[in-house]
Amino acid sequence: MHEFSIAVNIVEIATDYAGRENAKVVKEIEIEVGELSGVVVDALEFCMEAAVKDSILEGAETSISFVPGKARCNACSHEFEVHDFLTVCPSCNTPAPEVIEGRELRVKSLLVE
């Protein structure tokens, strides 16, 4: 499953970070998932539960925030919400707007001690 390898990757990022900070416990982790990142938040949450077992993230409070898709029209600079890559500009109908938000998939913050 796609989300499972992402969950494993997130655990690796947290483990590396905790190692650099000489931390023994990760208390909180915040993950940002964009609407257009191709990741299903529910599936990622489910996979995180399995991936954190016996890792430094076990017992950490995990929060996943969802970032809605947003694009800017290349022709008229109008900014609007998008839910896929096929949306045309609602004000001038130009296709292929530039996606400016919603592709992110990242660890936003980590609280260690």
**Closer residue to Zn ion, CB minimum distance, 78 or 103:** 78
Distances from the Cα of 84 to the Cα of 68, 71, 74, 103, angstroms:
10, 10, 16, 11
Residue 49 sits at the vertex; the CA angle it makes with 51 and 26, to the nearest 5 degrees, is 75
Our finding on whether 76 is near Zn ion (CB under 5 A) is: yes
Our finding on whether 89 is near Zn ion (CB under 5 A) is: yes
Region of 25-33, 40-48, 54-62, 84-92 interacting with Zn ion (CB under 5 A): 84-92
Our finding on whether 71 is near Zn ion (CB under 5 A) is: no
